[in-house]
Amino acid sequence: MLTADVLDTVGGLTAQLKTYAAKLPSIVHLAAVPTGIKPKFEAIEEYENIVSRFRNQSSGTAYKGLNESLIESLEAFEVGKLLGSVQPLLAVLDHLERMQRDKEIDVGRADEKRISEYRAVLHKILPGNKPELDGAGRGM
């Protein structure tokens, strides 16, 4: 398994989250907060297939340590918790960068760019990351 394969997985999951986030209303009624607004069954199934495929391919590789974060993301996605789905994927990207820094894996220039792009997309999905809120919370 190569770093590009891991990034294909993260890219697939990021695309699923981006699609799901685009369908959510900008304001969620409080009654929906405890369980979230669940994605469609087909989206959950695709997300699960991507995670399952990665788990099968990563066994016995340096990347098997990423399985727990991907499962955590899947479980959050299944119940409609967008924030809980995004944070583990950001942790996977952090882990990849740590592995690169520690010389456990080789990451090429193209893969470094993909890591940055996926991180940017995931940050844009996070609640409160809206341009109209720029400067919010900084006082006057």
Confidence bin at 128 (pLDDT 50/70/90): low
Distance separating alpha carbons of residues 21 and 39, to the nearest angstrom? 9
Average pLDDT score over residue span 31-35: 49
Of 125, 108, 103, whose CA–CA distance to 24 is shortest?
A: 125
The model's pLDDT over 59-71, given as tens digits with 9 standing for 90+, comes to: 889 999 999 999 9
- The single-letter code of the amino acid at 83 is L
**Among candidate residues 6, 96, 11, 101, the one with its CA nearest the CA of residue 58:** 6
* Helix (H/G/I), strand (E/B), else coil: 4: helix
Q: What is the pTM of this model?
A: 0.83
